[in-house]
Structure 1
Amino acid sequence: MSSAAIKDLVEIVEALPSEVQAQVVEHLREYIADLQDEQQWDASFSRTQSSLVAAVRRAKQERAEGKATVMDYEQL
C-alpha cells in the first residue's frame, strides 16, 4: 500500500470518535490476519499442487485398470 493510501486511512480513522477508532483497528487486525492466512494457504497449495495432480492421475489410472475398490464409508 502506498504511503498516500496509509495517510488517507489514518486521517479517516482519526476523524472518528476514539471508541469507534478502537473498533476499526480491531476489525483491521482481524481482516489483515485473514488475508495473511489466505496467503499462507495459497502458498502451501501452490507448493503441493503438482503432487495433488499426480495423485489424481494415479487414482484415475488405477480405476481404469480395475485396481480401485469402492470405499465403505460405514466402516470408517
Structure 2
Amino acid sequence: MSSPQITTLVKIMETLPDSLQEKVTEHLREYIYDLQDDIKWSKSFEKTQSKLVMAARRAKQEIAEGKAVALDYEQL
C-alpha cells in the first residue's frame, strides 16, 4: 500500500536517468537509516531519562555536601 506522497516520489524518480535514480535511491536509503537511528536513540533516552535526572540530582547533592571527589583523568 503506497501513500500519495510515495506514489508521487516514484513518478518523479522514474523521470530521472538510471544513474541519477541510483544516486537518489542511495541518498534516500542513508537518510532513512539515519532517521531510524535517531528514533532508536530517542526511544532509548526516553526510557532512561528519569534515571539520568535522579543521577544528576544525586551528584549535585553530593557536591553540595562536599562528598564529591574530582575526577582523575589519569585513572580512566
Bucket of the pairwise TM-score, normalised by the shorter protein: over 0.9
CA deviation vs aligned residue, 1:18-69 (integer Å, no higher than 9, x gap): 1110111111111000000000000000000000000000001111111001
Residue of structure 2 in register with 1:27 after alignment? 27
Gaps of 5+ in 1: none
**Which amino acid in 2 is paired with 1:42?**
S
Q: Percent identity?
A: 63
Residue of structure 1 in register with 2:14 after alignment? 14
Residue of structure 1 in register with 2:36 after alignment? 36
Cα distance in structure 2, aligned partners of 1:49 and 1:35: 21
Q: TM-score, normalised by structure 1?
A: 0.92
Gaps of 5+ in 2: none
Cα distance in structure 2, aligned partners of 1:60 and 1:10: 54
How far is the alpha carbon of 1:75 from its aligned partner?
Answer: 3.3
**Which amino acid in 1 is paired with 2:14?**
E
Q: TM-score, normalised by structure 2?
A: 0.92
RMSD: 1.2
Residue of structure 2 in register with 1:74 after alignment? 74
